[in-house]
Structure formats: C-alpha cells, structure tokens
Amino acid sequence: MLKTMRHHAKYFYVLFFVVILSFIFWGVGTVDKSSNAETIAEVGKYKISARDYARVYENMYKFYRDLYQDKFDEEMQNKLKIKEKAIDSLVSQTVLLVAAEDNGITVSDSELKEAVMHEPAFMRDGVFDNGVYQNVLRFSQLTPGAYEAKKREELMVGKMTRLIQESAPVDDAGLDTVSADEQTKKMLRDAMMNNAKEKIVQSYVEGYKKKIKVKINTQLL
C-alpha cells in the first residue's frame, strides 16, 4: 500500500507542477489588453486566452500520454476529460488570484526576489545564476518584468491557498482502529489531510465563483 501511495503521489505532484508552470509562463492571471488574443474564459477582470488554454492542455495531454502510454487511446482520453481539467485548473487559479486581491493579500519585493533566486530552473551548481535566468526567460519569450509579475501573482495565489487550507478539518480518529505500523498511519494521516485541504480549496473556489463574473467559451475547448 505504501508503494502504491508513493507512486500516485509522485504523478499528482508532477501534474500540479505542470499546471503551475503553465500558469506562470503563459500569461494566465494577467489583464489581457490585447484585442487580438481570442478569449476562452473571463474571470472577473482577468481574461484567459485560447493560447493560454492550448499550452496547458498540451502539457496535460503529454503528461497523461507518458503516464498511460499504450493505454492512452481515445476512450482513455475521453474518460480523463483533459480539456475540462485544463480549463478548470486555469479558472480555479485565476479565481484564487482574484480572491487574494480582494482579501488584500500582497507579495513584497523582498519575497519576490527570494522566490526568484531560489527557483531551481534559474540555478547553476545550486546557486542562482543571472545568465541562466536571462536565457530561460528569453527561451520562454518573457521579459524579466513580465515573468516577475507572473511570479508575484503565483505567490499571491499560494498565500491565498494556504490561508484557505489552514481551516481544513481532519478527523483521523478512525486510524486508531487500523492495524498498521506508525509509518503507514502517518502516510494515511497525511493523505487524509491533503485530501481535506484539496476539498476545502475546491469548495472555496466554487463559492467564490458566485461572487464574480466567470464565463467560459466552451466552443473553443
């Protein structure tokens, strides 16, 4: 059981990281002032372009294709509902950004600098390297200013998410009757806590959607 839990936890973490990278690097969370960008969704004052969605969908598609390999046929793709997951993830992240702003959550310049300098993608031999930083952003067609604006928003979403998760209730009393060693019980307790945190964030997002304008152009999915 421990092996199975670790196996699935690994893949869910990777998928989460893929979504976050897409959120940061491809413009989700910005006020889209370009009339040329086809809008696939609107969340409050923010717009999610079809290009943003396509990037996230492509990354999710590749993730599941690599995960399921030969089993990744058309039937499997339909069951996974990748299109729906991609747009739901982007909308949820943007809702959390709106909620963070509405609740006065900010990220200081020092917090932003600390996060950028500890980003593994910008390190060489374990130390932040400005040359690597510039090259990665150039490859991603981003200016430092644009990336740092995205990073600040991502940190705001992180703060908002943690604030919500702190109120997640977990009833693990049933574990006392489980016949297992302490390591297994700890893994079960952690899994229950993570599940509770995930559910409370989802519930908060769904509730907050009712307070703001959320519109999705499903024809573009």
The answer on pLDDT for 14 being more than 80 is no
**What pLDDT, on a 0 to 100 scale, did the predictor assign at position 3?**
47
Residue type, 70: D
Query: What domains appear along the chain, each with residue ranges and CATH number?
Result: 2-107+142-220 (1.10.4030)
Is residue 22 exposed (0-12), middle (13-18) or buried (19+ Cβ within 10 Å)? buried
The answer on pLDDT for 82 being more than 90 is yes
The b-or-e profile of 62-97 (16+ CB within 10 A means b, else e) is: ebbeeeeeeeeeeeeeeebebbebbbebbbbbbbbb
pLDDT digits (tens, 9 = 90+) for 100-112: 999 999 999 999 9
Which residue is it, tokens 């009833």? 171
Of 6-20, 32-46, 108-122, the one with minimum mean pLDDT is 6-20
pLDDT digits (tens, 9 = 90+) for 121-179: 999 999 999 999 999 999 888 899 989 998 999 999 999 999 999 887 766 656 666 66
**What pLDDT, on a 0 to 100 scale, did the predictor assign at position 202?**
93
**What pLDDT, on a 0 to 100 scale, did the predictor assign at position 196?**
85
Q: Cβ atoms within 10 A of the Cβ of 25, count? A: 19
DSSP 146-197: HHHHHHHHHHHHHHHHHHHHTT-----GGGGG----HHHHHHHHHHHHHHHH
**What pLDDT, on a 0 to 100 scale, did the predictor assign at position 13?**
44
Indicate whether this model's pTM tops 0.85: no
Residues 6+ away with beta carbon under 8 Å from 48: 28, 39, 40, 41, 42, 87, 90, 91, 94
